[in-house]
Chain A
Amino acid sequence: MNNLLKLFQSNISVINVGLPSFADDLKKQGVPVVTLDWRPPAGGNTKLLGLLDKVKRHQAKLGY
């Protein structure tokens, strides 16, 4: 707990994963924020994810 308190009492820098708007409030308070360009695999499309998973399982059988 002590360490957590120290963290919030020190100057913090933030990596924002997800929508850039998540970081807006922090930016307004002058907190340095880097937004990671991240999106869910296959855009969250379950059909595509299933197909990609089949490729990974296929390759796993070959030792990958």
Chain B
Amino acid sequence: MVDIYQANVQALKNIQTAQPVIKGIGKALEVVPGMRKNLFLHAGPPITWDRMSGPLRGAVIGGVLYEGLAKTATEAEIFAASGALSYEPWHEHSGVGPMAGICTPRMPVWIVENKVMGNRTYCTLNEGLGKVLRFGAFSQEVIDRLRWMEMVLAPLLKEVVQLKGDINLKSIIAQALMMGDEVHNRNRAATSLFFREIAPVILDTHFTDAQKKRVLEFINGNDHFFLNLSMPAAKAILQSAEWVEGSSIVTTMTRNGTDFGIRIAGLKDRWFTGPAQMIKGLYFPGFSDADANPDIGDSAITETAGLGGFSMAAAPAIVKFVGGAVQDAMNYTQKMYEITDAESQSFQIPTMDFRGSPTGINILKVCELGILPQINTGIAHKDAGMGQVGAGLVNPPMKCFEDALEAFVAKYCTND
């Protein structure tokens, strides 16, 4: 007979003690577990081409063009729908991808390791904001940037990690929360801290001065560069709670633009899904909610780890980006303590007298209290090829948690 409360204590212990560090950069085909030549990884729970939303299809089209499998967007779309490619969730390959989250075999990926348990996670490198693949854009500038990232940015940063050794991500995230980030939609402090860590080492690499300068400018000009590190760090932390028998702690929350999916520590490999919701937020000039796609991306892994929307009280300035007032940010964090089992021993919120961030979403509490996790997120245009149109706030559908509870009780409480 499994002790559910003790199982959750164990899951939380694993989460609290995890130590994610950057180990390096590799080619997805060579380092991501189960990666294959005809496989594209995507954000969210499993989905087939026919059910994919515009931005996810757009990112797939961009991925086909980037891989050189087609010459035009039309050809790429036909190829993507032909059955020649397989599509599988990043989460089933120990990784995460922001927004559409598309990762193709030749893309470079960060390799992050939880030093305590040795589990490794992966994520692509961040492209910046606006017209980028992860928001479904696939114009020539998007493809050119991806190729430069593969040919210059990634090899240079790989050498940086080789020269410098492990880079402690938990420490950077903890410091960033002290400086006004929540490391989902605000990564300005974390990117700056990361920049300080690596800038001197970049100068020691064998690359040309022009290449070093462009890499420094690229990272410095992209406040979201650290997002693709906070995400695999959060994934590495939560992966340490997979699959603790009997635990009702949520280890995955993610969206593919059509469905929202969650996974539970004690329910190995099972997805519980419901419809992805529309985001309430602020739009870039010229766009409105009529242009918006439903919720998309693996970046809700940050909320699952107690960051992002759960730590919004640490990042009051974020309301200028996602909407609302500073008090709303405080209230969101306050509310999340009600559905979590612990307070982080590493991530503290200065505006709440350094209280640990709400950590370990428990489906029992979500269902009993009817309080849904709070997520802040970017908004993708609903049409392929358009890109980002805003940012805002969203919740998962309650159905995910209700279905998960039913399965959990069926597995663990059959004789009660």
Contact = CB atoms under 8 A, between A and B. Distances in A.
Interface of A: 39, 41-43, 45, 47-48, 51-52, 54-55, 57-59, 61-62, 64
B406 A39 contact: no
Given A41-B368, A55-B4, A48 B402 contact: yes
- Interface range on chain B (Cβ under 8 Å from partner): 10 to 19
Interface of B: 1, 3-5, 364, 367-370, 402, 405-406, 408-409, 412-413, 416
B395 to A, nearest CB: 14
A54 to B, nearest CB: 4
A30 B364 CA distance: 40
Nearest to A49: B368
B405 A52 contact: yes
Given A51-B405, A54-B416, A62 B3 contact: yes
Contacts of A43: 370
- Interface-centre pick from A42, A58, A64 (highest chain B CB count, 10 A): A58
24 contacts: A39-B369, A39-B370, A41-B368, A42-B368, A43-B370, A47-B402, A48-B402, A48-B405, A51-B405, A51-B409, A52-B368, A54-B416, A55-B4, A55-B409, A58-B4, A58-B412, A58-B413, A58-B416, A59-B3, A59-B4, A61-B1, A62-B1, A62-B3, A64-B5
- Interface-centre pick from A57, A59, A61 (highest chain B CB count, 10 A): A59
Contacts of A58: 1, 4, 412-413, 416
A7 B405 CA distance: 46
- Interface-centre pick from B3, B364, B406, B416 (highest chain A CB count, 10 A): B416
Contacts of B364: 52, 55
B206 to A, nearest CB: 59
Contact of A57 (B5, B369, B405, B416): B416
B190 to A, nearest CB: 33
Contact of B413 (A39, A45, A55): A55
A52 to B, nearest CB: 6
Contacts of B5: 59, 64
Is the contact region of chain B dominated by helix, strand, or loop, or is it mixed?
helix
A52 B367 contact: yes
A42 B366 CA distance: 8
Contacts of B368: 41-42, 48, 52
Nearest to B367: A48
A41 to B, nearest CB: 5
A48 B399 CA distance: 11
B4 to A, nearest CB: 6
A2 B89 CA distance: 70
A47 to B, nearest CB: 8
B413 A54 contact: yes
A41 B409 CA distance: 17
A58 B408 CA distance: 12
A57 B368 CA distance: 15
Given A51-B405, A54-B409, A55-B409, A61 B416 contact: yes
A47 B408 CA distance: 14
Contacts of B413: 54-55, 57-58
Nearest to A52: B368
A51 B406 CA distance: 7
Contacts of A52: 364, 367-368, 405
A59 B413 CA distance: 9
B406 A42 contact: no
Q: Top 3 A-B pairs ranked by shortest CB distance?
A: A58-B413, A58-B416, A54-B413
Contacts of B369: 39, 41
A62 to B, nearest CB: 5
Nearest to A39: B370
A48 B403 CA distance: 10
Contacts of B370: 39, 42-43
A43 B368 CA distance: 8
Contacts of A55: 4, 364, 408-409, 412-413, 416
Contacts of B3: 59, 62
Given A58-B412, A62-B3, 4 more contacts: A51-B409, A52-B364, A55-B364, A59-B3
Contacts of B405: 48, 51-52
A41 B416 CA distance: 20
